Amino acid sequence: MPIHPRLSDRLERTANTARWIALASLVAVLAGSASAWFLIALDWVGQTRTTHPQLVLGLPLAGLVVGWVYLRFGQQVEAGNNLLIDEIHDPKKTIPLRMAPLVLGGTLISHLFGASVGREGTAVQMGGALADQLTHLFRLKPEDRRILLMSGVSAGFASVFGTPVAGAIWGLEVLTTGKLKYDALLPCTVAAVVAHEVCLLWGVEHTHYVVASIPAISLWGLCAVALAGAAFGLGGKLFAETTHALAGFMKQRIAYAPLRPFLGGCLLAALFWSFPLDRYQGLGIPVILESFEHPLAITDFIGKLSLTVLSLGSGFKGGEVTPLFFLGATLGNALAPLLHMPFALMAGVGFVALFAGASNTPIACTIMAMELFGSGMGVYAGLACVMSYLFSGHSSIYKAQRRGLPK
């Protein structure tokens, strides 16, 4: 007896759904485990650097070594997150597995010696590279490979920050300005949620940021947040464009790639050794936590901006997102008294909004605010993220990000 067409269609959709849940879960186990061990190692590296501040003098040699390793073994994967975005848009060839250990080692070395870099790039690249190894194993078609890569990106982001819903949306939103690819919604959501839980099962504890009190919605509150959102957008634009400009300048003037982080490391080491700038080394999470508790000087924003641009622009490995959290939180803290708003609220809003402008991901960043600070932050964070998104123009920390709908 032939199967009714509607029943056949439902069975096919059910089988396809089950297939993607299984694939996304497998990606999540790989990415979540990789992120967990990366975070554990990163914690040890940070403690070691704090205990031995003289390690900062090794930044030039560290930069030279990492630069040489990438020149010798990693030219195919040096583009990092941009390579993943390009492959998702235009699938060509499987991303080499070496991307994962190279970016892991390069990031840990950067943090050990005090470069001002982040961590999201490492987790996202590991997630994407590990996910892509399943392409040949399961003989996936190009359109399926694209979804698999997006799942790896979401899994890496969600597990490294402990924000599963934001991670799922970020993997969809970061690819093209103004557009979401809903065909990957289920795999990205499953991958993000499962990767987050896998990371927790390994014993990882994420940093908790507390906004002590969220004021009731008021006309002035909304106006203040909107004004701050515009400032966050301009701050994100400044960060993205100066980082790209320095990287381009270094590539144009210094042909031998390992010399770029070597020279950048020399300048960084001299600055860190000569001035009390150690609060800007590594992730800078202690300063982020301070921004939620008491007033900070605007010099914290300027110092972190300058040293992170120098670190990333000269070729040190890591990521941009946690430094952007730092910049947003400290800028929000500095704007709070000018706008007559609570320090913690403005730090929390800036934490997500400056990143929203720099990466053109206002929806994911609004959800991140609610996951980190509670649902009460939704209105304030959402308005600030949208304003930041608009005022950042078409700048982006990811050069491979495509331009969809105009802002």
> How many percent of the chain have pLDDT more than 90?
92
In tens, the pLDDT along 318-335 reads 989 999 999 999 999 999
In tens, the pLDDT along 23-73 reads 999 999 999 999 999 999 999 999 999 999 999 999 999 999 999 999 999
Would you say residue 5 has pLDDT above 70?
no
Which DSSP category does 403 fall into?
E
More confident residue, 1 or 90: 90
Mean pLDDT of all residues in 291-311: 97
Confidence class of residue 2 from pLDDT cuts 50, 70 and 90? low
User: 3-state class of 189 per DSSP?
Assistant: helix
Predicted structure pTM score: 0.95
Confidence class of residue 212 from pLDDT cuts 50, 70 and 90? confident
Confidence class of residue 8 from pLDDT cuts 50, 70 and 90? low
In terms of Cα–Cα distance, which of 292, 84, 41, 284 is closest to 170?
84
In terms of Cα–Cα distance, which of 368, 378, 335, 59 is closest to 206?
368
In terms of Cα–Cα distance, which of 119, 175, 158, 185 is closest to 31?
158
In angstroms, the CA 8 to CA 108 distance is 51
Give just the sign of the alpha carbon dihedral 190, 195, 200, 202. positive
- At 31, which helix (H) or strand (E)? helix 5-51
Would you say residue 1 has pLDDT above 60?
no
In angstroms, the CA 157 to CA 126 distance is 10
3-state helix, strand, coil in the chain (%, to 5): 75, 0, 25
Q: What are phi and psi of 403, to 5 degrees?
A: -95, 115
Mean pLDDT of all residues in 302-309: 98
Give me the pLDDT at residue 9, please. 75
Which DSSP category does 217 fall into?
P
In terms of Cα–Cα distance, which of 98, 95, 191, 100 is closest to 150?
191
In angstroms, the CA 59 to CA 57 distance is 6
Give me the pLDDT at residue 7, please. 63
Would you say residue 380 has pLDDT above 70?
yes
In tens, the pLDDT along 145-166 reads 999 999 999 999 999 999 999 9
> How many percent of the chain have pLDDT more than 70?
98
Mean pLDDT of all residues in 267-286: 96
Identity of the amino acid at 119: R
